[in-house]
Amino acid sequence: MARSRPRIVPPDEWAGWTDDELLELRVSQLGVTIEGSSLEPRIEELNRNLEMRGLSFRPHFWLSDEWFTPDGVPGIAIPFYLAHPRLEKLEQSQMLEVEGGTPEWCMQILRHEAGHAIDNAYKLRQRRRRQQIFGPSYLQYPEYYTPKPYSKSFVLHLNPHSDWRARYGDWPALKKLEFMDGLMQQLAGKPPIVETRRRVEPLPSIRKTLRSHYERKRRRHGLLHPDFYDRDLRRIFSDNPAYQTNMKAARFIARVRRDVRRMVANGTGEYQYTIDQVIEAMTKRANELNLRLTKPEERAKLDFLVLLTVQTMNYLHSGRHRVAL
């Protein structure tokens, strides 16, 4: 006997719920749509970008549990939390930030994903010149990737107001930018080769609860195997009895935590949640070592900011932090 689908709960019913109450809902029950949300004008802006480039192709969109463009599908999945302010608030409380939560950030991601959609719509990976510049398309796509800042190439090409040559004239990837610029000109006015409107993992098909969703998401973006930071921590703090009356390092880190987490996130493009896990591991170790401040707080904050940035980048490039595609 087939299982009955859980009841769709309209947003005006759950918008006033607490986080704990909301987390018990299944993703498929949320009843949110792109239509009528703040996503509509942003999608319209993306379509205007495409029109200004002379491209007749328009990707299709649907809500899912994260940002992605499925291989071979000329469309874009958008995370459900961007379809309602209450869900954005929940995302903030669970992940410490809302990826794509500002108009500018959302447009950056939409343009990035639109690049993948265009790639799929015109089967660009099969072109010999593209393979020469970007690598062979027959190589298996990795199951995981190390996060990096969003690709500039498609973002710049879909935004005709960007003076990218002036800004990135000596950038090593200039060859790729010039190739993509010429390729977009070739595609102007041409209909897409792939026209499927298939949606992968649309919202109604995702039966996991929001609680389960965020538990998995935190594990995926979190620090699963924390290192020990003794040597680096001792460059800023000390357990020497001469500093016994100074503020404990763990207390100092807690005081600057939010500020440095935000600054490192802005500089690295990494999730604040991941950075927070690095801070958590450092705080725990500093407490275990009974470390204390050895210098003025402003100087210590700057030194800790540098340390946190280095350790975050080391962590990312170690291959231990990987986001499933």
37 CB-near residues (< 8 Å, 6+ apart): 82, 83, 84
In a domain? residue 295: yes
Q: Using pLDDT thresholds of 50, 70 and 90, give the confidence band for residue 226.
A: very low
In a domain? residue 156: yes
| The predicted structure's pLDDT at residue 318 | 45
In a domain? residue 218: no
pLDDT in tens, 1-27: 456 678 999 999 999 999 999 999 999
Nearest C-alpha neighbor of 81 from the set 96, 68, 69, 98? 98
| Claim to verify: residue 256 and residue 158 sit in the same structural domain | no
The pTM for the full model equals 0.66
| Claim to verify: residue 42 and residue 163 sit in the same structural domain | yes
Range 148-165 average pLDDT: 46
| The predicted structure's pLDDT at residue 29 | 96
> What's the domain range around 287?
223-324
How many structural domains comprise the chain? 2
Query: In this model, does residue 228 exceed pLDDT 90?
Result: no
Residue type, 149: P
| Claim to verify: residue 32 and residue 173 sit in the same structural domain | yes
pLDDT in tens, 192-204: 999 999 999 999 9
What is the length of the chain? Answer: 325
pLDDT in tens, 70-92: 989 999 999 999 999 999 999 99
| Claim to verify: residue 90 and residue 194 sit in the same structural domain | yes
In a domain? residue 6: no
| Claim to verify: residue 163 and residue 230 sit in the same structural domain | no
| Claim to verify: residue 248 and residue 186 sit in the same structural domain | no
Please report which helix (H) or strand (E) contains residue 61, including its range.
Answer: strand 60-64
Q: Using pLDDT thresholds of 50, 70 and 90, give the confidence band for residue 255.
A: very high
Q: Using pLDDT thresholds of 50, 70 and 90, give the confidence band for residue 175.
A: confident
Q: Using pLDDT thresholds of 50, 70 and 90, give the confidence band for residue 320.
A: very low
98 CB-near residues (< 8 Å, 6+ apart): 81, 82, 88, 91, 92
pLDDT in tens, 263-318: 998 888 788 888 888 898 889 889 989 999 999 999 999 999 999 988 887 766 54
Query: In this model, does residue 57 exceed pLDDT 90?
Result: yes
| Claim to verify: residue 185 and residue 238 sit in the same structural domain | no
| Claim to verify: residue 30 and residue 174 sit in the same structural domain | yes
| Claim to verify: residue 174 and residue 139 sit in the same structural domain | yes
Provide the mean pLDDT of the chain.
83
